[in-house]
Amino acid sequence: MATAQVRPLALTLRPRSAIRAAQLDAGLVVGAAALTALGAQIVITLPFTPVPITGQTFAVLVTASLLGRVRAVAAQLLYLFAGAAGLHVFAGGAHGLASLTGATGGYLIGFVGGAALVGRLAERGWDRRPWSAAGAMLLGNLVIYAVALPWLYATAGAGLCTHPFFGAYIPKMVCGNGFLLTLYAGFFPFVVGDTLKLLLAATVVPSAWGALGAARRR
C-alpha cells in the first residue's frame, strides 16, 4: 500500500494566490541555495585529501527535508549553476567549472541526488520523527557518496599518492589499492563529522514540526 504524500514543512502555510505561491517557491529555492553556499564557507582542510570538511551536507539535508523533492533539487541546481557561472559559492570561496570537474565535483553533483531522495522521503512523512528523519538523511548521504567516490577515483585516483603535498600523508599500503585509497581520501575522514551533522540535521526538522503543532494547538 502506497504511503500518502504530505506537504513538507516549508509549504504548510502555502498562499492560495498562484502568484504569491510562485514567489514563495522562488524564495525558498534561492534561500536553500544561499544556505548551501554559506555552509560551503565553513571549511576544515585535511592534509591527505583534496576534499575538505564543510557545512554543505548539513545545509543540503536540512533544506531538502524542509522543501521537498522538486524545490530541493532546484535549489541545488541553482547552487551549482551559480558556482559554475563564477560566483564564489563553493567550498572556501571556490568557483568556476573547474570545481565541478575536479576531484570534489562528485560531491557537488551528488548533492542533487541526495536532495532529491531526502526531499521525496520528507513528502512521505519521514521528517516528522527524529529516527525516520535520520534514516532519510543517512540514505541521502549515501547517495552523495555513491556519486562522489567513483568521481574522486576517476579524477584523482592513484595520483594522490604521487601528489607533492597529499602524497606525503598517505600510507604506502593504501596506495596499492585503488578502492581503499578512495575510501581513505574520500570517506573515512568524514564519517564522524557526517554522523554528527546528520544527527543534528535530523533533530532540526522534527523539532520544527513539534513547534508548529504546539503553536496550532494554542
The residue assigned the cell 585516483 is 157
The predicted pLDDT at position 1 comes to 42
pLDDT tens digits, one per residue of 2-32:
456 788 888 787 888 989 989 999 999 999 9
Q: Measured between alpha carbons, how far is 23 from 157 in angstroms, rounded to an integer?
A: 44
Grid-cell match 591527505, residue found: 48
The mean of the pLDDT values for the chain is: 90
Q: What is the pLDDT of residue 3?
A: 57
What share of residues in the chain are helix, strand, coil (percent, to 5)? 70, 0, 25
The 10s digit of each residue's pLDDT in 118-142 is 999 999 999 999 999 999 999 999 9
Residues 6+ apart with CB under 8 A from 93: 41
* Most confident of the ranges 74-83, 128-137, 165-174, 183-192: 74-83
Q: pTM (2 decimals)?
A: 0.90
54 pLDDT higher than 70: yes
Spell out the domains of the chain, with CATH numbers in brackets. 15-209 (1.10.1760.20)
Rounded to 5 degrees, φ, ψ at 77 are -65, -40
Residue 142, φ and ψ in degrees, nearest 5 = -65, -35
Distance separating alpha carbons of residues 58 and 61, to the nearest angstrom: 5
Q: How far is CA 38 from the centre of its chain?
A: 12
Contact 147, 106 (CB under 8 A): yes
Looking from the CA of 9 toward its CB, the CA atoms found within 13 Å total 21
Share of the chain above pLDDT 90, in %: 64
